[in-house]
A = this chain, B = another copy of it.
């Protein structure tokens, strides 16, 4: 099969590693941040722009595509890569997170989950087998197993039951999956209970997946608790498989995650805050739609090489946001994505150069 992972270099002082993921649609240099294209589009961007920004792999959401336009339609279009004109690697999540956060009237049984669509209230029933079928229809390079996601905080008993069910569903996903040009990743759950994380990691690794997601974090718990859970989980995952921390994408958490041995990240944060007029800078976030930037003729972030910073001023972008112009959302989105993608480029370079720990010290 056309999927493999290789660790190229390790940082001595942290668990960080520099890796390379081979997929049917090309190579991904890790650690990597994956922009999120929920509905088969990374909001406000075109695929050629993502390439220019240095995106290597994007994530798309099975739940959303299942509801609209339907995974069968995407298959008929030749798969997600062709449908959205993104020829590089794609990862699809399993819909688990969305079923447990967006849908209503959820009823969970051992067989699967029934729920009502957040769009039109229509009834649906998803099982691990059905999710595998949907993800095979979408045809991403990496398909995540169907898991049960919990909010924070949650009682131990509930967390244990969900973790155990997730492990049983992972086995069913593994058994049901057919496409040889697609890798399935299992997902470690266990909420914020170290004991459950240990057990979840052991049970998921037993199933021998080509990669592992760490789910159920960044759902409201303090960041320190998330880092602690990573420290409990990562040592139990095999060295030769990629580790994917799901739903994490703030600059500080990316760095903390890499230092704890994470290879892959995704998050809607950069694109979502961009559409609210908030942009990353090396001096922290600024709300560029604020009146204070009305006559600020400097770029969003001095030294940034994104299209927004190369061509436009804060004053112009503020004007666009203030007047509800689409280009404003486009420019803040391009900037925030480039900010994170460039940060990951720097991290990879420091890992190659053996200077990662020094790079971290100034930042975390």
Contact = CB atoms under 8 A, between A and B. Distances in A.
Contacts of A137: none
Contacts of A69: 294, 315, 319, 322
Interface string A76-107: 11000001110000000000000000000000
Question: Copies per complex?
Answer: 2
Given A311-B47, A311-B85, A68 B326 contact: no
Interface stretch (A35-43, A140-148, A167-175, A336-344): A35-43
Given A76-B295, A295-B76, A313-B77, A39 B326 contact: no
Contact of A84 (B44, B316, B330): B316
A330 B326 contact: yes
Given A326-B329, A330-B326, A40 B316 contact: yes
A297 interface: yes
Contact of A77 (B73, B297, B323, B327): B297
A48 B307 CA distance: 10
Given A85-B312, A326-B330, 8 more contacts: A40-B319, A47-B311, A64-B323, A68-B319, A73-B319, A77-B316, A83-B315, A85-B311
The 10 closest A-B pairs by CB, nearest first: A85-B311, A44-B326, A69-B319, A41-B327, A39-B323, A41-B325, A83-B316, A68-B323, A85-B312, A39-B325
